[in-house]
């Protein structure tokens, strides 16, 4: 891609892991904490910047990511849901950022190819007409999702635990051509870990 990449990657890692009953992000996969495995994949993409939003057990999360070239930001309202982490992340990005790629900390199987494909797709049309880029498998939408900085003001007004889903829906209803749907073939790329059963399904105890 000839166009400079100015997409801020925001990893949402502030949640309470309530369904797991513990901190799922610290469970080891392939010998490293889940959160580190996820962030290292994003680092492989030669990112413009990576911001990790922390909250619950922030010291342990920071320790698990020690030595990585990332920026931490604490979401003091992390108990209020994902929306507060989205806002905290955006407010910490570089002012000249073209957009925000929101990655979920509990999706360690996302590939660097998928991440790069989303960013490249955003810039294909000079990023003027594209407001959102999302990955799809058949008709299923997954994460990470990229939002143009043109939507910054709307994103900063979201509330609760829905994240940016409502904004996606409104754009899709009113301006469907402003959303680019990127096909993803990797089977496990959307898989996230929420419960102990999710880990057991992958032979992780």
pLDDT digits (tens, 9 = 90+) for 17-33: 766 777 899 999 889 99
Tokens 């059963």 map to which residue? 197
Report pLDDT for 81: 85
- Cis, bond preceding 144 (omega within 30 deg of 0): yes
- Please name which of 122, 109, 136 lies closest in space to residue 48, comparing C-alpha atoms: 122
Tokens 């309470």 map to which residue? 16
Alpha helices in the chain (DSSP H): 34-43, 58-64, 82-91, 112-123, 152-155, 165-174, 196-200
Report pLDDT for 93: 97
User: What residues of the chain score a pLDDT lower than 70?
Assistant: 1-3, 18-19, 126-128, 163, 203-205
Q: Which CATH class is domain 7-190?
A: alpha beta
Report pLDDT for 198: 73
Judged by DSSP in three states, 34 sits in helix
Q: How many CB atoms lie within 10 A of CB 34?
A: 25
Residue 33, class by beta-carbon neighbours within 10 Å (0-12 exposed, 13-18 middle, 19+ buried)? buried
Helices (H) and strands (E) in the chain, counts: 7, 10
Report pLDDT for 103: 96
């Amino acid at each position: 891609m000839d166009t400079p990449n100015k997409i801020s990657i925001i990893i949402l890692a502030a949640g309470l892991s309530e369904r797991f009953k513990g901190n799922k992000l610290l469970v080891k996969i392939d010998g490293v904490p889940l959160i580190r495995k996820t962030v290292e994949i994003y680092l492989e993409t030669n990112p413009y910047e990576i911001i990790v939003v922390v909250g619950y057990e922030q010291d342990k999360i920071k320790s698990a990511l020690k030595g990585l070239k990332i920026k931490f930001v604490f979401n003091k309202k992390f108990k209020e849901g994902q929306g507060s982490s989205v806002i905290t992340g955006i407010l910490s990005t570089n002012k000249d950022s073209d957009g925000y790629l929101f990655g979920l900390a509990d999706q360690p199987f996302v590939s660097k190819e998928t991440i790069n494909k989303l960013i490249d797709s955003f810039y294909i049309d000079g990023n003027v007409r594209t407001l959102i880029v999302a990955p799809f498998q058949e008709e299923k939408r997954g994460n990470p999702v990229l939002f143009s900085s043109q939507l910054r003001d709307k994103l900063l007004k979201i509330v609760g635990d829905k994240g940016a889903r409502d904004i996606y829906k409104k754009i899709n209803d009113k301006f469907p051509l402003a959303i680019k749907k990127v096909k993803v073939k990797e089977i496990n790329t959307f898989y996230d870990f929420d419960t102990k059963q999710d880990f057991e399904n992958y032979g992780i105890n």
